[in-house]
Structure 1
Amino acid sequence: MIEFFMPMKKVPTTTHQQKQINVQMTIKTGKPHFYEPADLQAARSKLMAHLGQHVPNEKYKKAVRLTTKWCFPVTGKHSDGEYKTTKPDTDNLQKLLKDCMTDLGYWVDDALVASEITEKFWAKIPGIYIRIEEL
């Protein structure tokens, strides 16, 4: 099992779904070309830098439970520890996070994540809490 907290002044909210497509027309055929806009590249880089400090010595090869707690800076009338019920959606946040974890070698394949517990909170100390445990 590994467990850690990545404090971040600004938690990345750019989602994997924000990839763009560009059809480059050639004489033969139009080929779709996927690319990441600058904000998605920045979010990926930030996550990779933070996650890179916690890569396990060996990749997980069996089923795991991934627990994440996304802690966003307290704003307005919200209080520390209150659930965040506004965008971004948790499923969109998780996709980029898991892709980065896969690229860094946390596990053989993110399909091994057989159980996920994901929560969003308003927090005095913003960041992302992560726990991975074999099932």
Structure 2
Amino acid sequence: MTIEFFMPMVPPTTTHQQKQVTVRNGKPVFYEPEDLKAARAKLMAHLGKHVPEKKYKGPLRLMAKWCFPLVKGKKDGQYKDTKPDNGNSNKLLEDCMEDLGYFEKGDAQIASLIVEKFWADVPGIYIRIEEI
């Protein structure tokens, strides 16, 4: 089973790495700041439209192409080599997919991961998931 789709949006630049910690009653408590909550909600809303009818089983390949709005001096399709970094951006995406029920056993099923960032005329995130 393979699915692919494009979610037109300005991709969130807030990453999973930006969780915060506070101390309550002498114990650390992790929480999400408002911008991370907003990024999660945005991804959940877009990904929610593409949840597969059956959860993926077994090893998967996930391809994610993050297309950011063009800025002065950049061309459509040019690789983006500035923040946010791929790993942290994609972790939030994978967590949202897991929360929505894309995977039977969780995002640990992703055995092959291809993540790229580009500058683009049409911003958004292209996703392809395939069983391998």
TM-score (ref. length: structure 1): 0.95
Question: SS of the counterpart of 2:102?
Answer: coil
Which residue number corresponds to residue 11 of structure 1? 11
Runs of 4+ aligned residues of structure 1 deviating over 2 Å after TM superposition are none
1:57 Cα deviation after fit: 0.5
- Per-residue CA deviations over 1:26-55 (Å, capped at 9, x if unaligned) read xxxx12111100000000000000000000
- Per-residue CA deviations over 1:88-131 (Å, capped at 9, x if unaligned) read 11001110000000000000210000000110000000000000
Question: What's the RMSD between the two structures over aligned residues?
Answer: 0.6
How many percent identity over aligned positions?
67
Query: Structure 1 regions of 5+ residues with no counterpart?
Result: none
Q: Which has the higher Rg, Structure 1 or Structure 2? A: 1
Which residue, out of 50, 53, 60, partners 2:56?
A: 60
TM-score (ref. length: structure 2): 0.97
Which residue number corresponds to residue 72 of structure 1? 68
Q: Map of 1:76-95 to 2, 5 A cutoff?
A: 76-95=72-91
Question: SS of the counterpart of 2:112?
Answer: strand
* Residue identity in the other structure for 1:2: I
Aligned residues: 130
Distance 1:13 1:107 in 2: 24
Query: Structure 2 regions of 5+ residues with no counterpart?
Result: none
